[in-house]
Amino acid sequence: MLGHRDLKVFQLAYRLAMEIFHLTKGFPKEEVYSLTDQIRRSSRSVPTNIAEGFRKRRYPLLLISKLTDSDGEATETQVWLDFSLDCGYMSKQNHDHLTAGYEEVGRMLSGMIANPGKFALSGASLNAERSKRSSN
């Protein structure tokens, strides 16, 4: 595994955040500093926390902490999706598609949190990574 961009959960979370960005361009102007800002912020925090956690994977507890933060942001995003639907800013089809995506992100994150050793750097991996950096 090369980096955070190789993680399927990062790829999915990033794609969902971009879908939300494009979808929210059509939200009413009066929502710019409330619902639009909040849903964009929380959706972008999901892949951001995954990336930060992956970078700190040599410390399993920090990895778990960042993945837990990411899961919380994914759940927050689902609440903003519910508001978007109930306020009439989003179709049920878009809501259901995005909600299903964030539920999948949550399942993937739960698996990583339950098994951080699969993603944490071992001593050998850590030494290889240090060697690679020093040669660049």
Q: What confidence score (pLDDT) does residue 130 get?
A: 53
Six token digits for residue 87: 């306020």
Q: What confidence score (pLDDT) does residue 121 get?
A: 75
Range of the domain at 93: 4-135
Tens of pLDDT along 16-47? Answer: 999 999 999 999 999 989 999 999 999 999 99
When pLDDT is cut at 50, 70 and 90, the band that residue 135 belongs to is low
Q: What confidence score (pLDDT) does residue 8 get?
A: 97
Q: What confidence score (pLDDT) does residue 64 get?
A: 95
Task: Give the total number of structural domains in the chain.
Answer: 1
pTM of the predicted structure, to 2 decimals: 0.87
Q: What confidence score (pLDDT) does residue 129 get?
A: 53
pLDDT at 127 over 60: no
Tens of pLDDT along 46-105? Answer: 999 999 999 999 999 999 999 999 999 999 999 999 999 999 999 999 999 999 999 999
CATH of the domain at 31: 1.20.1440.60
Six token digits for residue 1: 């595994």
Q: Give the mean model confidence (pLDDT) for residues 103-126.
A: 84
